Amino acid sequence: MASMTIRNVDEQLKARLRVQAALHGHSMEEEARDILRAALSVSSGRSGSLIDAIRARIEPLGGVDLDIAPREAMREPPDFDA
C-alpha cells in the first residue's frame, strides 16, 4: 500500500472532514480514502481524442476559413563533401 501526505489543508475543510468521518464512524484517514475512491471511480464521460474534445468545444462558436500559403519547392540539401 502506498501512503501520501496532504499539506496545506484549510482548517475548515479539515474540520468538515472530521465531522463527516465521525458521522460515518470512520477515521479521517478512512473517510479521505472513501472520498478519493468515490471521486475516482466515476467515469469522466470523456472518450475520444484530444482533437475531438477541442472540436466539441470550438464548433459551436463557428468556423474560420484560413488561406493556405502556397508551398515552395524544397531547397537543395547542403553538400558537406565540398
The rounded distance, in Å, linking the Cα atoms of 34 and 28 is 10
Residue 43 lies in a domain: yes
Q: Range of 30's domain?
A: 11-59
Residue 38 lies in a domain: yes
pLDDT at 9: 94
pTM score, two decimals? 0.52
Residue 69 lies in a domain: no
Residue 2 lies in a domain: no
Mean pLDDT of 66-76: 89
Check: CB of residue 28 under 8 Å from CB of residue 38.
no
Measured in residues, the chain has a length of 82
List, for residues 12-65, the tens digit of each pLDDT value.
Answer: 999 999 999 999 999 999 999 999 999 888 776 667 889 888 888 888 888 788
Residue 29 lies in a domain: yes
Number of domains, the chain? 1
**Closest by alpha carbon to 20, among 8, 6, 38, 5?**
38
pLDDT at 65: 83
**Closest by alpha carbon to 33, among 44, 45, 21?**
21
